[in-house]
Amino acid sequence: MLTNAPRGTKDILPDTVGEWNYVESKIRELCGRYGFEEIRTPVFEHTELFHRGIGEGTDVVDKEMYTFKDRGDRSITLRPENTASAVRAYLQNKLYGDSSLVKLFYIGSMFRYDRPQAGRMREFHQFGVEALGEENPMVDAEVIMVAIDFLRSLGLKDLKLSLNSVGCPHCRPKYREVLQDYFRDKLDDLCDDCKDRFERSPLRILDCKADADKPYMADAPKITDCLCDECQEHFHKVQQYLTDAGIEFELDPRLVRGLDYYTKTAFEIKYAPLGAQSAVAGGGRYDGLIEEIGGKPTPAVGFATGLERVLLALEKQNLLPEMDKKTDAYVVALGDAAQGPAFKLLTQLRQAGLKAGMDYAGRSMKAQMKQANKANARFALIIGEDEVKESCVMLKDMEKSEQQKVSFDTIIEKLCAEVKG
């Protein structure tokens, strides 16, 4: 047990951390281009924030949160997602200031007690954006474009964007009724969860995995037939902006969100080669959330994407770049007298900005040259007792297999010129 990480967690080891850094650098570059600024919120928050911000009655809140009492008897929860925290930070720090639109992005660990499977961990990582303070459908389109652009910039093709509108507090109650009327005589046939959802949150019956293939599901009334004029107009414009931007999508009337603070646009991006785990990003508008958390009514839209799944997709398609593990110079010290001067040289190399390494185990020449090869060294700097006496090193070019004596005085300058061109 002591040497096993908890179930559903994973070490990111040195040989794969480069892949994470690669994806994260893409995110930062992309968000910079779209004008989203990074925010880092605490990994834990007051439990109440998620009860309000995600909603009781959801699987996340009811079954999946890591909640505990801290030593001050406060109920604390490890964040299961980042939207509620971002909104909390937005309100607490008055980020709204005098501008109408605040655009944030985040990268970080989230925690859900769920059954672990490929691409789905208990500690998992998300990248997401939140655009707060603007109802213009251009912002919806922009947020969707960030998601698409992100996945495309990594080389993923054949992405499928599904789009829907889930209405607003004016038009959704009518749809709820229409939906309840439709499912009332089918209630016995639905799964137990859906029997529960029928009163509380009938929209969620539409995205139930257990009932998805029931014959009457496809004919369920569509929310887009019940939208009010404002929602209709907004939805139409989002589609128009996406079309103008050359982004293909398909309408999916069953893409719904059960909670009241979700409004208008809902979207999901799938990547089919991932099979059952094919949803790689999802998001939408949540004009009711900020008020729910205690702010003034504020329109907002965002998305989140699971980075484990994205990396899984990149791995499957061989889209991860070769990680550069080069060392500029490897110092090889032979004999006791060489140790001190070798270490001093190593320090000087690093101070000059070069990537340099050395073997500390006092092994044979052959063993140390093997280490130099393993480190992918461009040059080996060999120092034995003779070199110490002559104040020089034997500089070996590992690519050309040539070697020459170079004095201590000029070696740093010479290597800098060679390596940095």
CB closer to Zn ion out of 104 and 168: 168
Residue 83, annotated ligand binder? yes
With CB under 5 A as the rule, give the number of residues binding Zn ion.
11
Residue choice 95, 228, 279, 337 for contact with Zn ion (CB under 5 A): 228
Instruction: Check residue 210 for interaction with Zn ion (CB under 5 A).
Output: yes
Binding to Zn ion, residues 170-189 (CB under 5 A): 170-171
Stretch in the footprint of Zn ion (CB under 5 A) among 143-151, 173-181, 210-218, 302-310? 210-218
Cα–Cα distance for residue pair 379/395, rounded to 1 Å:
7
Instruction: Check residue 288 for interaction with Zn ion (CB under 5 A).
Output: no
Instruction: Check residue 168 for interaction with Zn ion (CB under 5 A).
Output: yes
Contacts of 385 (CB under 8 A, 6+ apart): 334, 335, 337, 338
Binding to Zn ion, residues 311-350 (CB under 5 A): none
Shortest separation between residue 175's beta carbon and Zn ion, angstroms: 9
Shortest separation between residue 147's beta carbon and Zn ion, angstroms: 24
Residue 317, annotated ligand binder? no
User: Under the phi-then-psi rule, with left for phi > 0, alpha for psi from -120 to 50, and beta for the rest, what region is 29?
Assistant: alpha
Triad 88, 93, 94: Cα angle to 5°? 95
CB closer to Zn ion out of 87 and 223: 223
Shortest separation between residue 57's beta carbon and Zn ion, angstroms: 14
Q: What is the dihedral of CA 131, 136, 140, 146, to 10 degrees?
A: -60
Of residues 372, 371, 396, the one with CA closest to residue 382: 396
Of residues 7, 34, 20, the one with CA closest to residue 312: 20
| Main-chain dihedrals φ then ψ at residue 304, nearest 5 degrees | -135, 150
Instruction: Check residue 203 for interaction with Zn ion (CB under 5 A).
Output: no
For the four alpha carbons of 84, 87, 91 and 92, in that order, the dihedral sign comes to positive
Tell me the one-letter amino acid at 36: F
Shortest separation between residue 118's beta carbon and Zn ion, angstroms: 24
Residue 243, annotated ligand binder? no
Cα–Cα distance for residue pair 273/313, rounded to 1 Å:
8
Residue choice 141, 146, 147, 231 for contact with Zn ion (CB under 5 A): 231
Q: What is the dihedral of CA 328, 333, 334, 336, to 10 degrees?
A: 180
Shortest separation between residue 211's beta carbon and Zn ion, angstroms: 4
Cα–Cα distance for residue pair 268/259, rounded to 1 Å:
17
Instruction: Check residue 191 for interaction with Zn ion (CB under 5 A).
Output: yes
Residue choice 135, 140, 142, 211 for contact with Zn ion (CB under 5 A): 211
Residue choice 95, 145, 208, 416 for contact with Zn ion (CB under 5 A): 208
Shortest separation between residue 154's beta carbon and Zn ion, angstroms: 34
Residue 38, annotated ligand binder? no
Cα–Cα distance for residue pair 414/409, rounded to 1 Å:
10
Task: Point out the annotated binding site.
Answer: 81-83, 112, 126, 130, 257, 261-262
Binding site residue list for L-histidine: 81-83, 112, 126, 130, 257, 261-262
Contacts with Zn ion, residue ranges (CB under 5 A): 167-168, 170-171, 191, 194, 208, 210-211, 228, 231
